[in-house]
Amino acid sequence: MPVTSLTRDAEALTLTVVADFAVSRQRLWDAYVDARQIEKFWGPPTFTRHDAFAGGRSHYAMTGPEGDQHGGYWVWESVDAPRQFVVTDGFADLEGNPVESMPVMRAEFAFDETPTGSRLTVTSTFASAEQLEQVVAMGMEGGLQESMSQIDAVLASFAAGAGTEKQILSDTQVRITRVIHGSVAQVWRAHHDPDLMKRWLLGPDGWTMPVCVVAEKVGDTYIQEWESDDGSQRFGFTGTLIESASPHREVTTEQMIGTDGPQTRNELTLTPSQGGTLLSLVVTYPDAATRDMILATGMTDGMEASYARLESEVLGAS
């Protein structure tokens, strides 16, 4: 078991766990900032949002043995990759809204190099002795130990950079992920420069992008249209930019041009990781039938073709 100590300090109102791992600090860091990995050991929950940047948020839900669901959230206060991040950690409903009657803690995650790998120190600080005792009574100490004991398996088995991956989160949500071999700034620019987008955002071979209007500020409309090389087919999407935190996160709506539905909500997050930038796109559909219909079009394969083109033709990655 990687846990080397678990200390409760009633005077300082802290609960501290220390664990050692036989991997690099960067590898351990990536396990925490990658939603695909942390949800394999942090509970485990399902993360519908995971922003590893100052000012970002994380939303997750855990399902109990009886099928009951409990939510939680993080507010990312500071990030010093790959050394430390600090979050406000609290309980939430399933939409990510804080449950005001439950304890809120400040959690500091410190990642240090060691002669044999890396050490993680998690210090949770509470507002009162009552809140500390409340979470201890709820089993927080055992939960921390169990989470730490599951990290080694994730570190050993998870292989990042295996192309575009699709994960169904719920009846209405799908997460698409891909490690892009470029910096966050480069990948963000490639998603917001029309000339660059026309070079890579094409899906399978045989298409061009004659129209690319970028939404520059919240409330603006974007337009993207594609045409087959022989001119026989044409389609496009439009939507509104509803949230932006450059260069890490943006949220847009999306609807096919010339139709009355369905509309989706797309949440794009870019996170620095070993090997480049972890791109995560959480798509929310109106219902499961719409989700399955769109996935059946081969959407993931088309996205992989585009991302591979982005690496080779725009970023120059091999």
Report pLDDT digits (tens) over 17-67. Answer: 999 999 999 999 999 999 999 999 987 789 999 999 999 999 999 877 777
* pLDDT reading at 159 higher than 80: no
Cβ neighbours of residue 25 closer than 8 Å, sequence gap 6 or more: 82, 83, 111, 112, 113, 118
What does the pLDDT average to over 280-297? 95
CATH class of 3-157: alpha beta
Q: Where in the chain is the domain with CATH 3.30.530.20?
A: 3-157, 165-314
What is the chain's mean pLDDT, rounded?
Answer: 93
* pLDDT reading at 202 higher than 90: yes
Confidence category of residue 162, pLDDT binned at 50, 70, 90: confident
Q: Contact 114/19 with Cβ under 8 angstroms?
A: no
CATH class of 165-314: alpha beta
pLDDT of the residue at 161: 64
What does the pLDDT average to over 187-196? 97
The answer to which of 119-128, 158-167, 307-316 has the lowest mean pLDDT is 158-167
Confidence category of residue 165, pLDDT binned at 50, 70, 90: very high
CA triplet 34, 95, 295: central angle to 5 degrees? 60
What does the pLDDT average to over 77-86? 97
14-21, strands of its sheet edge to edge: 3-9, 14-21, 117-126, 104-114, 84-92, 69-80, 57-63, 46-50
pLDDT of the residue at 77: 98
* pLDDT reading at 318 higher than 60: no
Please give the Cα distance from 292 to 309 (Å, whole number).
Answer: 26
pLDDT of the residue at 193: 97
pLDDT of the residue at 197: 98
* pLDDT reading at 280 higher than 80: yes
pLDDT of the residue at 47: 94
What does the pLDDT average to over 223-232? 97
pLDDT of the residue at 238: 97
The answer to which of 104-118, 160-174, 196-210, 275-289 has the lowest mean pLDDT is 160-174
Between 44 and 282, the more confident residue is 282
105-156 pLDDT tens trace = 999 999 999 999 999 999 999 999 999 999 999 888 888 888 888 999 999 9
pTM more than 0.95: no
